[in-house]
């Protein structure tokens, strides 16, 4: 168990048996990875919440011994036949429906920028992009309409078509930006998902040793955690192509479409849920009973009858000292920095007149085992974290409430958000997102450049897309070294809306 801790946490030597997971630098994303490794290695049920409740390697090992022989609910990732219509995951179905309803839009673009310092061989880069797309099926998938033009099979189920490796229509073209062209405009490209794969690349060069590669990915094909295999595999392929060789990738156990099929096997459908899905839904029915229909944010304009996707972003950064203070506060309560920020956000919303019943949406990784870690795909699910700030609690007491709520959510995070909305059937409105209107998105961020060929380095970063999916989004994370960068993003409440502004309290007005 100490060896698993060292491997997951990236430390050179196995830690002391009694050392706590949080004290060793653990957080929720690493907890998910550790829980998956425990399940895989020991064959016992073990969740993210278990990592926080039994923090040390000794405590986890004791739990493994106690649970030895208990049946696990895990289903291995197995390849499904590529013949006939291939199903979409529930998350993909939602984006497919929005695409069909609203038409092509930049709202669900994921703009990734690879900043390269050093010489860049464009021919090798073009070949590396081909290698990347050949490796990941989601990057060469289209969602065409059927004969009836609906984009769905006869029973109304949407499907996808995976283009074969080497297919002319699947391979991305490395576009060279025109002199004076704007990255801001390039990230707003609108994909036609029925006709083109969901990856577009544009190269901006400012001299022989300064390059910016835009990797524009549609959300139907990827998520935040997809950036790690995307960047790693591109660097591997580029280095090989520079040397005149074909990249030697570690073989993938499966692909995203296999995960979509596994999801259906494990959870069923809204019409025919499995016992696991029914148990998860029962939790959420109780946890979200009486949830307010809408969080009344302190906007300076009335909410329009139809929500707009136009948005603006204000960046910020916490310095290393403030970040370390957050870490200490979190460890004192057995919580993560994410939970601490969540408690602070809930308190801030209450302070600004949003009430004491604060629902926040947050993405969870959805990658339950090591077989999915190397895949590019839309694995994330969304859960609702409901915080009760009533009674004027001290911050420590509020953090305890948040910790309990978050751990319960982690234990019931498999139910697709869209299935939850369909089952709970909250009052619908075109003016707002169902169940929550404020999103808290958290991730760990690699703060150092990586090698990109023998003579160059590259740093991958997300850039604003100029859109907003929710009324307010707090994007933040932790650097591997120290510090916490992030941004506030807000929807323009009116079509002539102004960008977010800072108040004296740091609140970005909409």
Query: Across-strand partners of 205?
Result: 211
Q: Which of 372, 91, 81 is nearest to 254 (CA)?
A: 372
Closest CA to 377 of 257, 215, 507, 207: 257
pLDDT tens-place string over residues 333-352: 999 999 999 999 999 999 99
> What integer is the mean pLDDT of 104-117?
94
Q: Are 497 and 301 in contact (CB under 8 A)?
A: yes
Instruction: Return all residues near 352 (Cβ < 8 A) that are at least 6 apart.
Output: 297, 298, 505, 507
Rounded CA separation 297/508 (Å): 11
Measured between alpha carbons, how far apart are the two ends of the chain, in Å?
48
Domains and CATH numbers, the chain: 2-67 (1.10.1200.10), 86-242 (3.30.559.10), 275-449+466-509 (3.30.559.30)
DSSP 3-state assignment of 78?
coil
pLDDT tens for each residue of 242-251: 999 999 999 9
pTM: 0.89
What's residue 509's pLDDT?
Answer: 38
Q: Report yes or no: 205 and 120 within 8 Å, Cβ to Cβ.
A: yes
Q: What does the pLDDT look like over 412-439, one tens digit per residue?
A: 999 999 999 999 999 988 888 999 999 9
Q: Write down the pLDDT at residue 219.
A: 97
Average pLDDT of 84-95? 90
Per DSSP bridges, beta strands 472-479 and 438-445 are: parallel
Structure tokens at 212: 């910016």
* Sign, CA torsion 115/458/200/256: negative
List strand residue ranges (DSSP E) for 14-79, in order.
Answer: none
* 112-147 burial: b if 16+ Cβ within 10 Å, else e: bbbbbebebeeebbbbbbbbbbbbbbbbbbbbeeee
Element (H, E) at 445: strand 438-445
What is the C-alpha separation between 408 and 53, in angstroms, rounded? 11
pLDDT at 151 > cutoff 60:
no
Question: What is the tens place of the pLDDT at every residue in 192-249?
Answer: 999 999 999 999 999 999 999 999 999 999 999 999 999 999 999 999 999 999 999 9
Longest dimension (CA), the chain: 67
């Amino acid at each position: 168990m100490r060896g698993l801790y060292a491997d997951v946490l990236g430390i050179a030597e196995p830690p002391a048996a009694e050392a706590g997971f949080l004290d060793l630098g653990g957080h929720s994303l690493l907890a998910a990875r550790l829980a998956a490794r425990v399940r895989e290695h020991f064959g016992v049920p073990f969740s993210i919440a278990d990592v926080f409740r039994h923090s040390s390697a000794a405590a986890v090992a004791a739990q493994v011994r106690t649970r030895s022989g208990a049946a696990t609910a895990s289903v291995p990732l197995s390849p499904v036949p590529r013949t006939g219509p291939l199903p979409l995951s529930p998350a993909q179905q939602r984006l497919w429906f929005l695409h069909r309803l609203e038409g092509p839009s930049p709202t669900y673009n994921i703009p990734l920028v690879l900043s390269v310092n050093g010489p860049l061989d464009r021919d090798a880069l073009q070949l590396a992009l081909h290698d990347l797309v050949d490796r990941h099926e989601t990057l060469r998938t289209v969602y065409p309409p059927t004969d009836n033009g609906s984009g769905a099979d006869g029973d109304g189920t949407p499907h996808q078509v995976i283009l074969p490796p080497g297919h002319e229509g699947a391979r991305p073209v490395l576009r060279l930006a025109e002199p004076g062209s704007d990255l801001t405009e390039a990230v707003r490209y609108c994909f036609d998902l029925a006709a083109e794969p969901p990856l577009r690349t544009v190269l901006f060069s400012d001299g022989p040793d300064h390059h910016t590669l835009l990797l524009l990915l549609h959300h139907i094909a990827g998520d935040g955690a997809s950036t790690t295999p995307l960047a790693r595999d591109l660097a591997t392929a580029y280095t090989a192509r520079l040397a005149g060789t074909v990249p030697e990738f570690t073989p993938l156990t499966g692909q995203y479409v296999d995960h979509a099929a596994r999801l259906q096997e494990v959870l069923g459908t809204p019409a025919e849920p499995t016992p696991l899905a029914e148990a998860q839904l029962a939790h959420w029915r109780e946890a979200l009973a009486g949830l307010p229909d809408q969080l009344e944010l302190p906007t300076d304009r009335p909410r329009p009858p139809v929500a707009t996707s136009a948005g603006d972003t204000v960046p910020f950064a916490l310095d290393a000292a403030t970040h370390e203070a957050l870490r200490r506060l979190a460890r004192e309560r057995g919580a993560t920095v994410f939970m601490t920020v969540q408690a602070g956000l809930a308190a801030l919303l209450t302070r600004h007149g949003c009430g004491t019943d604060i629902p926040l949406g947050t993405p969870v990784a959805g990658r339950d085992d090591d077989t999915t870690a190397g895949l590019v795909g839309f694995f994330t699910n969304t859960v609702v974290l409901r915080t009760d700030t009533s009674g004027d609690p001290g911050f420590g007491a509020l953090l305890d409430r948040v910790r309990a709520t978050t751990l319960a959510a982690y234990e019931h995070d498999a139910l697709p958000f869209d299935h939850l909305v369909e089952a709970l059937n909250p009052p619908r409105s075109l003016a707002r997102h169902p169940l929550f209107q404020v999103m808290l998105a958290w991730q760990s961020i690699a703060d150092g450049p990586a090698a990109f060929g023998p003579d160059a380095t590259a740093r991958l970063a997300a850039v604003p897309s100029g859109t907003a999916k929710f009324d307010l989004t707090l994007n933040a994370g932790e650097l591997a070294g120290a510090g916490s960068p992030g941004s506030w993003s807000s929807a323009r409440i009116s079509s002539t809306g102004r960008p977010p502004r800072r108040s004296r309290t740091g609140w970005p007005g909409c």
